[in-house]
Chain A
Amino acid sequence: MGQDYKIMSDRELLAMISDMDGQFEYYDKETMAKVFRANNKGFILLPAVGRKGLFAEQQSVLDSIIKSGVIPLEADKPSPFEKEKSRLAKINDNISYYLTELNSKLQTSLTTDVEIDTSLYKVINKKIRSLEPEEAYRQFFIPLGVVMGEIVRKKVNGEWKLDKRYAYNPYYVPYVTIGNDNNYLPWYKLADMLLNRKFDIKRYIEEVSKLKRFL
């Protein structure tokens, strides 16, 4: 099938659609990808979100791709959740992986059985703040969220769940719930803290420990 379609930019593909309404064929509820007829000949697949899509001369090629459940596109700059999609989809099996990763990066020996000792706050803040924001985000965003989420989950006897998001292919953001839309969101404001030089482990722990409705 690899030769039956072409990966193109959204700009190029949109230039082949004069009438977004009239040339629309259908969309897929699982991936939220849309299929359009091209102006002259062929068909276009626009994924839910992203700057690339697919062109094929036969609609059946795009139909097969959608049926397979996997759109053969990769983001140039995938979100950390997309990069870690496989592990996060089975987060319960991968807690120790992220704990080891976090401890290795922070040079600490944290566990998920007890809350982080306040004597470590300074060490953690210093290590994370010493990095450029983009680097701090790249290194710590996922492991911090998983470890803090797991600490909270054990404390409240909660359960990990996955929130579906869309890119070229769907991915998942984990959260901890105790039921009835009473949730703990480990990644709430974390990107903002890391990317905007506002990281403070005390404040982050306070934020993660707050019960939240899914907003």
Chain B
Amino acid sequence: MVAGSYAGYHIAKNNGGDGMVGAGLGALAGGAGFGLSSINWGGVGKMFRGGGGEWLDLTKSALTMLADQYSNQVFASEGAKQNYLGNMFENNWHIWARMHFQQNAYRANDDPDELDDGQGLSIPGHSSRQHVIVDAKMTEYNLSNRGIQPYVDAHWFEVKAMSRNVSLSTSNYQIQYEMDALAVSQQAAVKAGIASYSVATTANAAIGNSVYKHGNTKGLFVRHFRPKYKVTDTGVQVKFGWEQSTRIKGVPIRMLTKYTYGLPVNMNF
């Protein structure tokens, strides 16, 4: 059993401290760029600006405020606005995650995964649904004494801009469906102890215990990511933190709700 990090790989196995090495700001920092000339960065309210450019929790309401201030968008309806916020949050997550997990071949996912057991049978309890589309996937690497074992797409991500906690039943049981589909489709990674399911949310949401328990039952390492933002004179920056957790004898255990934050990226609107 190998602990810690290796060459920037993110190893979720027996890792009390989460080995993670950022790919460096150069990879994606800047993203698609800001429309600096058209945005008044000084116009943000003090509550959200945080005085001297402090890092503040990127809650759903802060996200809404930032969108109102900087997106230059007029929303025809509340639904259109919520849709924009969800897409904008997800897009910023992908930019951040791709920078941090480049060596794990992190990618946004648009492809459906079948909800079946591989024998053409639906997973029990899921007869009303035939597929899930998880937001992102990446490769996890198991580091053994005999070499690196890649498990392609063994780590799935769901991204939610929401104010309430994520539970198994969130979005009509989307969370449970995805976890079950992951556990069934990645049995080798489960056996190797590195199959992982992560949820990135706005800062005022957490993952409910039911999700951690379900992950434990299915042999999935469950982790929460949450964001902070900072308004500077030249733009808004965002960074995500990941939960400290570990596995004991292959069993995923949630240790502390304590987050370690990665490198910031410029926020795209």
Which A residues have a C-beta under 8 Å from some C-beta of B?
9-11, 14, 17, 20-22, 24-27, 32, 34, 46, 48-49, 51-52, 76-77, 79, 81, 134, 137, 166, 187-192, 195, 211, 213-215
Contacts and interface: CB of A to CB of B under 8 A. Distances in A.
Given A166-B152, A166-B153, 7 more contacts: A17-B191, A20-B191, A21-B146, A32-B139, A195-B131, A195-B133, A213-B28
Contacts of B98: 214-215
A215 B191 contact: no
Interface of B: 1, 28, 31-32, 91, 94-95, 98, 107-108, 110-112, 114, 116, 118-120, 130-131, 133, 139, 142, 144-150, 152-153, 185-188, 191-193
Contact of A215 (B107, B142, B152, B192): B107
B112 A215 contact: no
20 contacts: A9-B119, A10-B187, A20-B191, A21-B144, A22-B144, A27-B148, A32-B150, A48-B150, A48-B152, A76-B118, A79-B111, A187-B110, A188-B110, A191-B110, A192-B133, A195-B133, A211-B32, A213-B28, A213-B95, A215-B91
Contacts of B91: 215
A113 B133 CA distance: 32
Contacts of A49: 152-153, 185-186
Contact of B118 (A10, A32, A191): A10
Contacts of B95: 213, 215
A166 B191 CA distance: 20
B149 A20 contact: yes
Contacts of A76: 118, 120
B112 A20 contact: no
Contacts of A25: 146
Contacts of A11: 187
A81 B193 CA distance: 30
Contacts of A195: 112, 131, 133
Nearest 5 CB-CB pairings of A with B: A51-B118, A21-B144, A215-B94, A215-B108, A48-B152
B32 A213 contact: yes
A133 to B, nearest CB: 9
Given A49-B185, A192-B133, A215-B98, A22 B146 contact: yes
B191 A191 contact: no
Contacts of B145: 21-22
A148 to B, nearest CB: 14
Contact of B188 (A14, A166, A187, A215): A14
A26 B144 CA distance: 11
